[in-house]
């Protein structure tokens, strides 16, 4: 089939490279940066450049833009896609995106399936994209109940072909609540952690735990601000939860309550062991 990829950053670029490396589908790329398109053509990551007026030729379009851009692109171009075609997004939050774009696309005879490839790097841009970025990762889909099962199968088969090892079907709310925990709060914590004044002494004192905890502090603040605000309630819940738990350790430590502290640490260890 003809696959169009909109936005050739880390995620979109990796989709292009994976499609060309692992399937026989045709892959066209749309990006506002002509240098990126030229580079993608040069290294064979795309078969050709995709213009907006050619979206109607694509059987499947993968939109790899930030959440707000995804919503504006899909609502502006809702009438430009192939009737009977499929559009998926790749945003880290689903309720806000799906609610905004599903109806306009449906009214134009296009099937929209919310998707979230669970992969990334602490770098962004086409330059860092990889044909194997999705190898072994989860591919989450939040299809509405009325989505045709054959269309779902098309996307599922493509995801498997690109290297995803696990396809997860869920609803938007469960996705957003879970992602607030597995991804969003992890980024907030990492970003908050490095604000200790002790950071300046860390060189030479850093074993794995500092490296792990600080890794995702280096984030794109524009994209994550949007993601956080579009998932306000679930993220607020996680923030309140972790702050309350941290206060328990702090209070036990302040009281020099060895048994209390040991119990708190034991509870966490057991939860992790069973996770």
Near a second copy in 89-128, by CB under 8 A: 118-120
If binding is defined by CB under 8 A, does position 136 make contact with a second copy? no
* 169-172: long-range pairs with CB below 8 Å, 24+: 169/140, 169/141, 169/142, 169/143, 170/140, 170/141, 170/142, 171/142, 172/94, 172/95, 172/98, 172/99, 172/114, 172/142
CA 70, 21, 167, 112 torsion: positive or negative?
positive
Near a second copy in 148-187, by CB under 8 A: 166, 168, 174-175, 177-183, 185-187
Choose the stretch contacting a second copy; rule: CB under 8 A; options: 3-11, 30-38, 78-86, 188-196.
188-196
Query: At its nearest, how many Å lie between a second copy and the CB of residue 4?
Result: 25
Which residue's entry shows tokens 């330059």? 127
Pick the closer one to a second copy by CB: 51 or 212: 212
Q: How far apart are CA 52 and CA 79, in angstroms?
A: 11
Query: At its nearest, how many Å lie between a second copy and the CB of residue 185?
Result: 7
Pick the closer one to a second copy by CB: 153 or 267: 267
**Binding track over 255-274 against a second copy, x by CB under 8 A:** -x-x--xx-xxxxxx-xxx-
Pick the closer one to a second copy by CB: 20 or 68: 68
Near a second copy in 226-255, by CB under 8 A: 228-229, 232, 235-236, 238-243, 245-250, 253-254
> What angle (nearest 5°) sits at the alpha carbon of residue 96, between those of residues 56 and 71?
35
Q: How far apart are CA 140 and CA 87, in angstroms?
A: 15
**Torsion angle in degrees (nearest 10) through CA of 185, 261, 209, 164:** -50
Q: How far apart are CA 96 and CA 79, in angstroms?
A: 20
Pick the closer one to a second copy by CB: 56 or 178: 178
If binding is defined by CB under 8 A, does position 75 make contact with a second copy? no
- Out of 22, 138, 152, 160, name the contact with a second copy by CB under 8 A: 138
Choose the stretch contacting a second copy; rule: CB under 8 A; options: 26-34, 44-52, 123-131, 196-204.
196-204
If binding is defined by CB under 8 A, does position 207 make contact with a second copy? yes
């Amino acid at each position: 089939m003809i696959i169009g990829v909109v936005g050739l950053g880390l995620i979109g670029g990796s989709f292009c490279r994976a499609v060309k490396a692992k399937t026989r589908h045709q892959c066209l790329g749309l990006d506002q940066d002509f240098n990126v398109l030229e580079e993608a053509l040069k290294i064979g990551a795309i078969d050709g450049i995709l213009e907006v007026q050619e979206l109607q030729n694509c059987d499947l379009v993968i939109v790899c833009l930030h959440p707000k851009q995804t919503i504006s692109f899909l609502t502006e171009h809702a009438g430009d896609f192939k009737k009977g075609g499929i559009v998926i997004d790749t945003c880290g939050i689903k309720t806000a995106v799906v609610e905004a774009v599903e109806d306009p696309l449906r009214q134009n005879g296009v099937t929209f399936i919310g998707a979230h490839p669970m992969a990334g790097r602490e770098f962004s841009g086409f330059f860092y994209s990889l044909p194997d970025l999705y190898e072994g990762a989860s591919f989450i889909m939040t299809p509405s109940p009325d989505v045709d099962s054959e269309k779902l199968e098309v996307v599922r088969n493509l995801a498997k072909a690109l290297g995803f090892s696990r396809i997860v079907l869920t609803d938007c709310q469960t996705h957003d609540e879970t992602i607030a925990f597995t991804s969003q709060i992890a980024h907030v914590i990492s970003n908050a952690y490095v604000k200790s004044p002790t950071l300046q002494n860390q060189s030479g004192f850093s074993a794995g735990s500092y490296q792990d905890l600080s890794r995702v502090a280096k984030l794109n603040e524009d994209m994550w601000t949007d993601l956080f605000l579009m998932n306000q309630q679930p993220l607020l819940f996680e923030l309140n939860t972790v702050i309350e738990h941290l206060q328990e350790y702090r209070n036990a430590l302040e009281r020099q309550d060895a048994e209390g502290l040991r119990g708190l640490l034991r509870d966490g260890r057991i939860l992790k062991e069973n996770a």
